[in-house]
Amino acid sequence: MFEDALMESGGKLKTRSKYWMIATFVFNGLIVGLMILIPLLYPEALPHNSLTASLTAPPPPPPPPPPPPPPAVKIIKVVTVDNGLHAPTKIPKDIKMVKEDAPPPPAGAGVAGMEGMAGGSPGGVFGGITGGTGPAIHVAPPKPTGPARISGGVIAGNRIAFVEPQYPPIAKIAHMSGTVVLHAIISKTGSVERLSVSSSTNPMFNNYAMQAVQQWRYRPYLLNGDPTEVDTTITVNFALNGSE
């Protein structure tokens, strides 16, 4: 009996719970449907603040600041100077020639011997005699303060005594030739005072060239009529067919 009671009660419970679930589902569906239909049928029932906030767009950003004003332009006035010379706008028919009178002679006494006086002449001097010529003025040229720089070709023409340089024996055996350029100071009397080697193709020729050139003599070099020292170069060539 107890088992039958349980079976009967179980069937009743299952039937009741089934109906209850269906009723609950229908009730909930009606509530949700009402919540959807009411705003559609009566939109004024919705709160205005929330609707306005959802539909209002955000404010636009502020406009950019205006650009700075352009710098002031300085106006420079160009002033033209009228020099009085203008190109003619038309060619005149008649051109008048204007003749100017000769200026009067200057007042006062002239200078004796000057041009423009009776008996004067061009180039007259103050205090000269009328009809005479002034004394000639000679300006002495400045004297050189040191040796005059003269080229070797020019000074070679003043040579009056020549000693042939000795040929180095070793160079003669080896059939060697060379050239020595010497820097020389020639005195006012024409003697060679100082010698130094400027350039040489072979050092073995240097001493032989200097020993020979020290014995050479020159005519005094005249500058403005006065003997003067000379700064020059002397070239000595060594060759198997002869030397200088």
pTM, full prediction: 0.42
**Angle at CA of residue 86, ends 85 and 90, nearest 5°:** 145
Higher pLDDT, 243 or 211: 211
- Report the mean per-residue pLDDT for the chain: 76
User: Residue 114 corresponds to which amino acid?
Assistant: M
Q: What pLDDT does residue 209 have? A: 94
> Residue 50: pLDDT band by 50, 70, 90 thresholds?
low
> At 242, is the pLDDT very low, low, confident or very high (cuts 50, 70, 90)?
very low
Tell me the C-alpha distance between 230 and 155, whole Å. 8
Decide which of 66 and 179 is more confident.
179
CB 148 within 8 A of CB 230: yes
Structure tokens at 32: 């949700």
Per-residue pLDDT tens digits for 83-97 = 666 666 777 677 767
Residue 44 DSSP class: G
Predicted confidence at residue 111, as pLDDT, reads 47
Task: Answer for the pair 232, 182: CB distance below 8 angstroms, yes or no.
Answer: no
